[in-house]
Amino acid sequence: MINLELPKRLVAASNQAHQAAAEIFRPISRKYDLLEHERPVELDTMASLVEGMADAGQAASGATLGRGDKAREGNINGGNMSALLNVIETCWGDVGLTLAIPFQGLGNSAIAAVATDEQLERFGKVWASMAITEPSFGSDSAAVTATAVLDGEEWVLNGEKIFVTAGDRSTHVVVWASVDKSAGRAAIKSFVVPKDAPGITVARLEHKLGIRASDTATIILDNCRIPKDHILGSPEVDVKKGFGGVMATFDNTRPLVAGMAIGVARAALEELRKILSEAGVEIDYNAPALTQHAAAAAYLELEADWESAYQLAMRATWMADNKKPNSLEASMSKAKAGRVGTAITLRAVELAGSLGYSERPLLEKWARDSKILDIFEGTQQIQQLIVARRLLNKSSAELK
């Protein structure tokens, strides 16, 4: 039976993350939104804190994610749920700064999903970004055109990757590439590429609508050479299995992206309630919404939507912690939270009027930041397609 009761250790770690968000992230949030591409040096002070949390399996989005949880009977609320709770709190502070935390890149979650135990020991504490998207495709991860060819004891990688979050500042990049184009999607593997490897360059940084504190890079791989053992998981091409191994990455990362949307949406709700209260609009939980001020009724609807997104994300991480297949639930949580995040933040701007549109509060910034959370790690439409396939038991070829 599912049990979402939070152990004290998870609550303590979440409180610690909230404190960091309140005391470090919020004060510099607007600063690095305006200073796009400037490295947030204040985050360097968090390095030791993050490392300690990672060692305890409680990192914001690190490479442990429950793999270290000891097997035991009954309910387990461990690393995946802890990562979700922590990322909710840090994104309550600032989404872009969360994505800029050293050693907490999305590539770390890919390492957690695919790496062997020996590889996790080697790569578990690097700062890894994740490079999937290419100029020729976005959400269709099976359309990877980057290649990896084995040359003796080294892999030689070629291709171009775009929209790589933390691609400039990270120390490593998890690159998706095909080891055999004739074998189709089954030959798509992920590789850990050190940024100092020969043949890898950062071509440019993107200017963006939101999450400006986080660098988003285009990366070129030109005969990039990495050691043979830097391929994550097995190098064997299993046509029957397809590329489920690398796709398992998303079962880890999608609930975390949902958590990001949940965090920034909660921030917007709290700020909106404060603004409404100062304007004389009070929310009454003991009275029907239709009898209250229109703004109060709208707030209650947004809050209910937020709660449903939160519960879906919690369920997806609980399933991961308890070793239950969660691909459906991960996509459901990402789809719901992505949509709710943009809806809540934009509605908060609207309900706050001219104040919401100004730069005095952070509402307009949160609205800009939240949009990416409904796009990366699979768009809203892709998530709905995955959910439909799972519910109808249809393959990708049968349901496009």
- The pLDDT tens digits for 283-331 are 999 999 999 999 999 999 999 999 999 999 999 999 998 989 999 999 9
Q: What pTM, to 2 d.p., does this model score?
A: 0.92
Q: What is the pLDDT of residue 61?
A: 47
377 is catalytic: yes
* Same structural domain, 293 and 191: no
* Same structural domain, 215 and 264: no
Q: Which domain holds residue 82?
A: 8-123
pLDDT in tens, 124-176: 889 999 999 999 987 777 789 999 999 999 999 999 999 999 999 999 999 99
* Same structural domain, 279 and 388: yes
* Same structural domain, 249 and 329: yes
User: How many folded domains does the chain comprise?
Assistant: 3
Final residue of a domain: which of 98, 123, 148? 123
Among the listed residues 271, 329, 364, 377, the single catalytic one is 377
* Same structural domain, 108 and 140: no
pLDDT in tens, 61-107: 444 555 555 545 567 878 889 999 999 999 999 999 999 998 888 88
Q: How confident is the model at residue 177 (pLDDT cuts 50, 70, 90)?
A: very high
**Strand bridging mode 200-205 / 216-227:** antiparallel
DSSP, residue by residue, 18-56: HHHIIIIIHHHHHHHHHSTT---GGGGGGHHHHHHHHHT
* Same structural domain, 78 and 18: yes
Q: What is the pLDDT of residue 62?
A: 47
Residue 111 lies in a domain: yes
At 207, which CATH number? 2.40.110.10
- Cα distances from 134 to residues 105, 109, 148, 160, in angstroms, run 19, 20, 15, 6
3-state helix, strand, coil in the chain (%, to 5): 55, 15, 35
